[in-house]
């Protein structure tokens, strides 16, 4: 295990160099990896594992859209695609990749198939961390492990096909067999991680829920909407407001940040842009810090988890979700964005 200095703090990481794919295959050569759920993370992880030479099967409800998607992706009913209970029975490693609400619903079924020595694998610490709310309490004689790719299953698959890797965290909640460490690291390499860094189930879910509600999704949409509104209210056209709020950031500036850091992006912009950014970033930090502190507190108390459980367990959740997404999609800002995207040179037919 390598030690890497992250901003002055040394952390343990696992790289592909020290734990190559051949080693991962050797560790898992006698395992049957049953991926339960084929929605967000399931396809990317399962296909990457399959392409990397592991023994993978899918467990999914028959006569569902996700069953049909699995068939379209090349999984064969009766050979590599099975009803959930049959896959649970066959698997020695159960990759539990249903949604958080789905995990709560299916847990009584999963429990029946967690025989001694099996491994229960998560990509989110939600179910186990909030066990008092979810009822997900694994038996003591199975390994309980986590690999959490830092991105969507779609990104994980795309980067794998490009020969790249999405970084992932890993955690061990329970080591019943003495093999949990090598199992989880091998799986992390197998799903296509660029490198793996240590965490705990609790820290993974606290940081993940904060990030999703914060800079990764919630806060960024809020900031976009606020700046767009100010520009429009001061007479700027929709195309100009969108370009100065979203398009320039996503297409030009964030790739520079990803490549070599924020300071490097600043250094590659005009002196006027540099001065403004350096003068204003701390004001935005100070303005948003109380909101982020409140957000983290709500996550740690379990209130965000309960809101998610209550909302996502409703029978009409999908209908309400689509209405909320429609509100975003049909807002002037994102309708302007749709028009801007058609004008990108790569989209010129």
Q: Per 3-state DSSP, what percentage of the chain is helix, strand, and coil (rounded to 5)?
A: 55, 15, 30
Structural domain spans, the chain: 2-199, 211-347
pLDDT tens-digit readout, 94-124: 999 999 989 999 999 999 999 999 999 999 9
**How far, in Å, CA of 37 to CA of 127, rounded?**
15
Mean per-residue pLDDT for 65-71?
94
* Residue 319 CB-density burial (10 A; 0-12 exposed, 13-18 middle, 19+ buried): exposed
87, 93, 96, 97: CA torsion to nearest 10: -90
| 31 annotated to bind ligand | no
| 68 annotated to bind ligand | no
Closest by CA position to 215, among listed 207, 204, 226, 205: 207
The fold adopted by the segment(s) 211-347 is: 1.10.1040
Q: Is the pLDDT of residue 349 over 70?
A: no
Q: Look up tokens 């399931």; give the residue.
A: 42
- Phi, psi torsion values for 11, nearest 5 degrees: -130, 150
Closest by CA position to 244, among listed 331, 337, 325, 327: 337
**How far, in Å, CA of 217 to CA of 285, rounded?**
17
Known catalytic residue at 124: yes
The DSSP bridge partners found for residue 35 are 58, 95
The DSSP bridge partners found for residue 56 are 33
Q: Is the pLDDT of residue 342 over 80?
A: yes
**How far, in Å, CA of 229 to CA of 223, rounded?**
10
**How far, in Å, CA of 229 to CA of 224, rounded?**
9
| 123 annotated to bind ligand | no
Which member of 50, 118, 124, 213 is catalytic? 124
- Count other C-beta atoms under 10 Å from residue 344's C-beta: 10
pLDDT band at 348 (very low <50, low <70, confident <90, very high): confident
Predicted pLDDT at 63: 84
* Residue 304 CB-density burial (10 A; 0-12 exposed, 13-18 middle, 19+ buried): buried
Q: β-strand 33-36 against 56-59: which pairing, if any?
A: parallel
pLDDT tens-digit readout, 14-23: 998 889 999 9
CATH number of 2-199: 3.40.50.720
The three-state (H, E, C) secondary structure of 245-307, written as one string: HHHHHHHHHHHHHHHHCHHHHHHCCCHHHHHHHHHHHHHHHHHHHHHHHHHHHHHHHCHHHHH
Predicted pLDDT at 347: 83
pLDDT tens-digit readout, 258-292: 999 999 999 999 999 999 999 999 999 999 999 99
| 208 annotated to bind ligand | yes
Angle at the Cα of 34 (from 30 to 36), degrees rounded to 5? 165
Mean pLDDT (the chain, rounded): 95
CA end-to-end span of the chain = 49
pLDDT band at 341 (very low <50, low <70, confident <90, very high): very high
Predicted pLDDT at 107: 97
Considering the entire predicted model, what is its pTM? 0.90
| 162 annotated to bind ligand | no
**How far, in Å, CA of 119 to CA of 142, rounded?**
5
């Amino acid at each position: 295990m390598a030690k890497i200095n992250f901003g002055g703090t040394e952390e343990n990481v696992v790289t592909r160099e020290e734990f190559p794919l051949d080693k991962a295959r050797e560790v898992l050569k006698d395992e049957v990896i049953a991926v339960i759920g084929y929605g967000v993370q399931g396809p990317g992880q399962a296909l990457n594992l399959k392409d990397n030479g592991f023994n993978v099967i899918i467990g999914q409800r028959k006569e569902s859209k996700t069953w049909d998607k699995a068939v379209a992706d090349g999984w064969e009913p009766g050979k590599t695609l099975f009803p959930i209970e049959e896959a649970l029975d066959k698997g020695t490693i159960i990759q539990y990749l249903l949604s958080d609400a789905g995990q709560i619903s299916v847990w009584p079924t999963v429990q029946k198939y967690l025989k001694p020595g099996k491994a229960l694998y998560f990509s989110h610490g939600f179910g186990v961390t909030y066990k008092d709310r979810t009822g997900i309490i694994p038996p003591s004689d199975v390994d309980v492990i986590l690999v959490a790719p830092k991105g969507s299953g779609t990104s994980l698959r795309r980067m794998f096909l490009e020969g790249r890797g999405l970084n992932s965290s890993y955690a061990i909640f329970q080591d019943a067999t003495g093999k949990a460490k090598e199992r989880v690291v091998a799986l992390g390499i197998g799903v296509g991680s660029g490198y793996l860094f240590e965490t705990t189930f609790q820290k993974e879910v606290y940081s993940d829920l904060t990030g999703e509600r914060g800079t990764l999704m919630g806060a960024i949409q809020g900031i976009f909407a606020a700046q767009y509104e100010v520009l429009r209210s001061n007479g700027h056209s929709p195309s100009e407001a969108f370009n100065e709020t979203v398009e320039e950031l996503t297409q030009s500036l964030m790739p520079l940040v990803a490549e070599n850091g924020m300071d490097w992006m600043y250094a590659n912009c005009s002196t006027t842009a540099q001065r403004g950014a350096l003068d204003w970033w701390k004001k935005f930090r100070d303005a948003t810090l109380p909101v982020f502190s409140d957000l983290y507190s709500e996550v740690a108390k379990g209130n965000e988890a309960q809101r998610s459980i209550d909302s996502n367990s409703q029978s009409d959740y999908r209908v309400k979700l689509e209405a909320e997404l429609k509100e975003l999609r049909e807002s002037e800002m994102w309708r302007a964005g749709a028009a801007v995207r058609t004008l990108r040179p790569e989209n010129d037919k």
